[in-house]
Amino acid sequence: MLGDIALLLVGAVLVNNFVLVQFLGLCPFMGVSNKLETAMGMSVATTFVLTLASVCSYLTYNYLLIPLDLAYLRTISFILVIAVVVQFTEMVVRKTSPLLHRVLGVFLPLITTNCAVLGVALLNINQAHNFIESLFYGLGAALGFSLVLVLFAAMRERLAVADVPEPFQGAAIGMITAGLASLAFMGFAGLI
Amino acid sequence: MPALLADQPLLGALLALLCLGAVFGALLGYAAVRFRVEGNPISEQINALLPQTQCGQCGYPGCRPYSEAIAEGDAINKCPPGGEETIQALADLLDVEPQPLDAEHGVEKEPVVAWIREDECIGCTKCIQACPVDAILGAAKVMHTVIADECTGCDLCIEPCPVDCIDLIPRKQGIGYWHWPLPADRAPRFDVIASDAHRQDAA
Amino acid sequence: MRAIHDIHGGIHPPDRKSLSRPGELRDAAIPRTLMLPVRQHLGVPAKAVVAVGESVLGGQLMAEAQGAMSVPVHAPTSGRVIDVAPYPLAHASGLQDICIVLETDGKDEWRLMSGVTNWRELSPEALIERIRDAGIAGMGGAGFPTAVKLNLGPARPIETLLVNGTECEPYITADDTLMQCQAAALIEGAQILAHVVGAGHILIGIEDNKPEAIARVEAAALEAGANIEVATFPTKYPSGGEKQIIEILTGQQVPSGGIPADIGLVCVNPGTAVAARQAICEGRPLTHRIVTLTGEALARPGNVMACLGTPIEDLLVEAGLTLGAEQRIIHGGPMMGFAVSDLSAPITKITNCLLAPTLSELPLPGPAKPCIRCGHCAEACPASLLPQQLYWYARAKDQEQLTEHRLFDCIECGACAYVCPSQIPLVQYYRAAKGQIRDSEQERKRSDNSRDRFEARQARLDAEHAAREAKRAARKAAAESKADEEGADPIQAAIERAKARKAEQDKTP
C-alpha cells in the first residue's frame, strides 16, 4: 500500500510531471514564475487548491454522480467544484495576506481554468483511483507543479539580470528555457 | 425518486446540478461574510515608497491621494521627483511592468532645495503658508528662511512669493555627495580587434 | 607558536617591493606651499580657525574638529596662511574641497603641545582626548578617526590590540620602512593604545616577505621587556584587510556588518600607533607621514617622511619623475588606489604611496569583455562572497538582491577583478552599487521625515480649523442664549441701552 502510494507520488512529481511532461497548467507556470516570492506563493495556493479539488471531485463523482447515474456530467460538475474551491481559497488569502492577494489576484481565478486541476480530477476517474490514491495523486501533481514553478522562477530571476539579446528578452527566453527543462525531465522516463 | 430520475434523466441531471450549486453557493456566501476584509492596506505600502514632496505634479493633491489612486489601479509613472527608482520600486511591489516616466507630469530633475534671498524678503509669510512640510522658518514682518534639511524641493513656495525672491538650488553638491558612477556598458564587440593591440604592447 | 589559519581565496601578484628599498627612509624637502584639506578623514570636515594672512608655527591648530566624527588639522611647519578656499584634492572624484594654503618660511619653528612620559598613570579618557587633539586618523588608508575607534565603552570589552603590519598590497613599503626604522616607537605606541582600550594582549602581525622588519620589531619588543607577540604568516593579497588578518591570526571571523571590537579586538595600522606615541610622549600632533614613492617612471624611488599637504608633483619631481605617454600617477597601490587627475593636489593623512608606473610596467586595462561565468572571482574573494552575482545585480541595479548577497561585506580589494579573464572592472560596479544604495537609504529617510512633517502639519491645520469652528459655534450658542434672555433682538436691545445711557448723560449736565 505504502509502496503504491510512493510510486504514485514519484510518478506524479517527476516521471509524469504535469507541467513539463504532460504540458498542463502552462498558463500560470509562465505567468507567475517571474519572481521567486510570487512563485512560492502561487505554488502553495495551487497545492491547496489541487489537493482539495481532487478530493472534492472524487467525492462528488463517487457519492453524487454515480449513484444518480449522472457520470456524463462529471466535466461540468468538476468545474463547478473547482470554481468553488478556488473562490474559497481566494477569500482566505485575501484575509491572511493582502499583498499576496494583490499579486496573485489575477491568477487565482486562473487556477479555476488551469487545465492541470481539471486534468487531475479527470485522470483520477480514468485511472480508477480510490480515495487515498486520489488524494495523493492530487498532492503529487501539486508538488510536481510547485517544484517546477520554483525552479523555473529561480532561473527566470537570473535571466532577468543576464545579458540576453534583445529579441529574446522576456517571455521568449522563458519559453526556450522551459523547453530545455522539459527535455531534462524526459530523463526521468525510465525511473518507474 | 429514482423512478423519476430514470424516466426523466434530464430533469434529474438538472436537479442534481441545481442542488450542488445551491450547496456551494451557501458555502461561499458564508465564507464571504466570515472572511470579510476591511480597508485597503496596500496603499500604505505604496505611500511609503513615494518621495513625499507633496508637490502635486502627479495630478493629485499630495502623495497619499496618489498612493490610493495607484492602489485602485492608476499608472505608476506619474511621479517626477521619485523618478526611475520610485517607478521601479512600485513595479516590484505591485508586480507590474515598470514604465518610463510620463513626460506629461514632468521630467526627472536633480534634487533641489529652496533658498530665500534674504535681502529681498519682505516677511509676508505667504511662502510659510504654502509649504506642505513646514520647512520655512519665520513670522510676519520677520526674516524668512528655508530649513534646508527639511525642504523637499516641491516648489510650492515659488509662486506665492510676491517679490519672487526664492531660488531652487541643487541639493547634492560637493565631494561629500559624490559616489562612483556605474562603469559604462562595455564597448561593442568590434572594438576588440587587432588594431587595439597598440594600447597593450610594451611602450 | 600561534596557530596560523588561512583565508578563503586571495591572489599572489608580484610584490615589486624591492623597487622602493624598504628600510631606507629620508626626509622630503619642505615645499614652498602646503595645502591642508580640512577633511583628511572619514566623517565631518574640520573647520578652519586661522585667517588669511595669519602666521602660524609648526604644530599649531589650523582647523578645529566639528563634533565626534571629526579630526583637527595642524600645521606641519611654520609659515603664513595665504588662502582658505576650495582646491583640487587627490580624490577619485577629481572634485575640490576647502584647503588651508600655507606658505612655508623654511624656518620650521615649532610649538608643541605638552608631552608626558608617565602615560601609564593617565586615564584612558585623558589619553583619548590627547589623541583626538593631535588630529590622529587611521593611516592605513581609510582615515577613520582614531579617538572614535578607541572609545568603545563597556559593552565591548577588548582583549587584544592587533597591530596590522601586513602591508599586503604590491609596491607599497611605507609600513615596512616604519617598522624597520621606528620599531621602538612602534612598541611603545602599541603599549599606549593597549592601555587605552584595556587590552591585556598585544599582537603584531607581519607578513613573511618582510624578514628585516620582523627581526627589528621582535628585538625592540624584547628590549622593552614587553609581553608582545609578533606573529608572521605567509604572504597573500589581501591578508592585510582588517577582517582578513583577524581571521588569519585568530581563526575567528568578524560578524557580517560588525566590527572587530565585537569579538574583542582592536586593529590599528603601525603608523597610527607611532603617531599616537608621538602625540602622547612628545606632544607632536600628526603632521608628517611616511610615503612610498615608487614605479619605474621614477629615477629615485624610495620612502620619504613628508609633510602633510605637500603637493604630489613636488614629491614626485624630487624622486626624479619622467612623465611618459599616458602617464598615470596612482594614489595608493595598484590594487586599491586611484589615478590622480591633478598633480597639484596635496598628500593627506591617508596617502601611503604614490605610484608612477610606465605603460609597460602596468599596461592600461583593455576593454571589458562579456562575463563568461567562469567563477574564478568567487574562488579569489577573501570575504567568501559571490562577485559574479554581485556583478549581475549591480548592472541590474537590484538593491534588494545586492544587500542579500552581502555587498557591504566587500572590502573592495580587487582580487576578483585581478583574476577575471574578461577584464571586467568588478570593483567599480560594487563601489557604484554601494553608493547608490547609501543614496537610496538617505532618500528614504528624508521622505519618511517629510511625510511625518506633512502629516503633523495636516493634523495641526485640522486642529486649528476644528478649534475655530468650536469657538464660532460657542459664540453662536452664547449669542442665541443671550437673545433668549433679552427678548427678540439683541441688537435692538443694545441700541436701547445706548439711547438710555445717552439720555442719562444728557440729563446730568
Spatial separation of the C-alpha atoms in residues C477 and B6, rounded to whole Å: 81
Q: C28: which residues sit within 8 A by CB, 6+ positions away?
A: C291, C304, C305, C306, C307, C310, C314, C315, C318
Contact (CB, 8 A) for C93 and B178: yes
Q: Find the CB nearest C429 among B50, B132, B182.
A: B182
Contact (CB, 8 A) for C204 and C233: no
Question: In one letter, which amino acid is B106?
Answer: G
Contact (CB, 8 A) for C138 and C146: yes
C1 is a domain residue? no
Inter-chain CB proximity B28 and A95 less than 8 Å: no
C428 touching B (Cβ < 8 Å): yes
For the domain that residue C139 is a member of, what is the CATH number?
3.40.50.11540
C10 is a domain residue? no
CATH number of B110-174: 3.30.70.20
pLDDT for the residue C158: 93
Tens-digit pLDDT profile for residues C415-430? 999 999 999 999 999 9
Residues of chain B with C-beta less than 8 angstroms from the C-beta of A69: 5, 9, 12
**Cα atoms in the Cβ-side hemisphere of radius 13 Å centred on C14:** 5
Q: Among candidates C99, C91, C106, which has minimal Cα distance to C350?
A: C91
Q: Strands C265-268 and C160-165: what pairing?
A: parallel
Q: DSSP letter at B44?
A: H
Q: Among candidates B90, B42, B50, B68, which has minimal Cα distance to A97?
A: B42
Give me the domain span that covers residue C206.
18-318
**Taking each helix axis from N to C terminus, what angle separates B42-49 and B83-94, rounded to the nearest 10 degrees?**
160
Inter-chain CB proximity B16 and A65 less than 8 Å: yes
Inter-chain CB proximity C325 and B203 less than 8 Å: yes
Q: DSSP letter at B184?
A: P
Query: Residue C395's closest chain A neighbor by CA?
Result: A161
CATH number of B42-105: 1.10.15.40
Partnered with residue C302 across adjacent β-strands are: C293
Q: Tell me: do C311 and C181 sit in the same domain.
A: yes
Q: What ipTM was estimated for this complex?
A: 0.75
Q: Residue C63: enclosing H or E segment and its boundaries?
A: strand C61-64
Burial class of residue B73 (count of CB atoms within 10 Å of its CB; 0-12, 13-18, 19+): exposed
End-to-end CA distance of chain A: 16
Inter-chain CB proximity C360 and B203 less than 8 Å: yes
Spatial separation of the C-alpha atoms in residues A27 and A47, rounded to whole Å: 16
Tens-digit pLDDT profile for residues B145-191? 999 888 888 888 888 999 988 988 888 777 778 889 888 875 555 44
End-to-end CA distance of chain B: 103
pLDDT for the residue C352: 94
Tens-digit pLDDT profile for residues C296-329? 999 999 999 999 999 999 999 999 998 877 789 9
Burial A102-132 (b: 16+ CB within 10 A, else e): bbbeebbebbbebebbbbbbbbbbeeebeee
C448 touching B (Cβ < 8 Å): yes
Q: Tell me: do C86 and C189 sit in the same domain.
A: yes
Q: DSSP letter at B150?
A: T
In the stretch 215-234 of chain C, residues with CB closer than 8 A to chain B read none
Burial B169-201 (b: 16+ CB within 10 A, else e): eebeeebeeeebeebeebeeeeeeeeeeeeeee
How far apart are the CA of A188 and the nearest CA of chain B, in angstroms?
A: 34
**Boundary of a domain, candidates C292, C318, C344:** C318
Q: Which residues of A touch B (CB under 8 A)?
A: 34-35, 38, 60, 64-65, 68-70, 73, 76-77, 80-81, 84, 87-88, 91-92, 94-95, 98-99, 102-103
Q: Tell me: do C88 and C197 sit in the same domain.
A: yes
Inter-chain CB proximity A162 and C392 less than 8 Å: yes
Q: Using the predicted structure, report yes or no on whether residue B3 has a pLDDT greater than 80.
A: no
Measured at the CA of C344, the angle between CA C340 and CA C348, to 5 degrees, comes to: 70
The tens place of each residue's pLDDT in chain C, 509 residues long, gives: 789 999 999 999 999 999 999 999 999 999 999 999 999 988 889 999 999 999 999 999 999 999 889 999 999 999 999 999 999 999 888 889 999 999 999 898 998 888 888 999 999 999 999 999 999 999 888 889 999 999 888 888 999 999 999 999 999 999 999 999 999 999 999 999 999 999 999 999 999 999 999 999 999 999 987 779 999 999 999 999 999 999 999 999 999 988 999 999 999 999 999 999 999 999 999 999 999 999 999 999 999 999 999 999 999 999 999 887 778 999 999 999 999 989 999 999 999 999 999 989 999 888 888 899 999 999 999 999 999 999 999 998 889 899 999 999 999 999 999 999 999 999 999 999 999 999 889 888 988 888 899 889 999 999 999 999 999 999 999 888 877 776 666 678 788 889 999 988 887 75
Q: Among candidates C378, C334, C350, which has minimal Cα distance to C275?
A: C350
Which band of pLDDT confidence, cut at 50, 70 and 90, is reported for residue A104? low
C432 touching B (Cβ < 8 Å): yes
Chosen for mutation from C446, C448, C455, C458 (greatest number of chain B CBs closer than 10 Å) is C446
Domain count, chain C: 2
Inter-chain CB proximity B203 and C358 less than 8 Å: yes
Tens-digit pLDDT profile for residues B31-67? 888 877 666 567 888 888 888 888 888 888 888 888 8
Q: Among candidates C1, C3, C5, C2, which has minimal Cα distance to C382?
A: C5
Burial class of residue C206 (count of CB atoms within 10 Å of its CB; 0-12, 13-18, 19+): buried
Percent of chain C, pLDDT > 90? 75
C356 is a domain residue? no
Inter-chain CB proximity A98 and B5 less than 8 Å: no
Global pTM reads: 0.83
Burial class of residue C505 (count of CB atoms within 10 Å of its CB; 0-12, 13-18, 19+): exposed
Q: Parse chain A into domains and list their residue ranges.
A: 22-188
Q: CA-CA distances (angstroms) from residue C334 to C89, C244, C284, C330, C418?
A: 19, 19, 32, 7, 10
C305 is a domain residue? yes
C443 is a domain residue? yes
Partnered with residue C267 across adjacent β-strands are: C162
Q: Parse chain B into domains and list their residue ranges.
A: 42-105, 110-174
Provide the sign of the torsion angle of the four alpha carbons B2, B8, B10, B14, taken in this order: negative
How far apart are the CA of B156 and the nearest CA of chain C, in angstroms?
A: 13
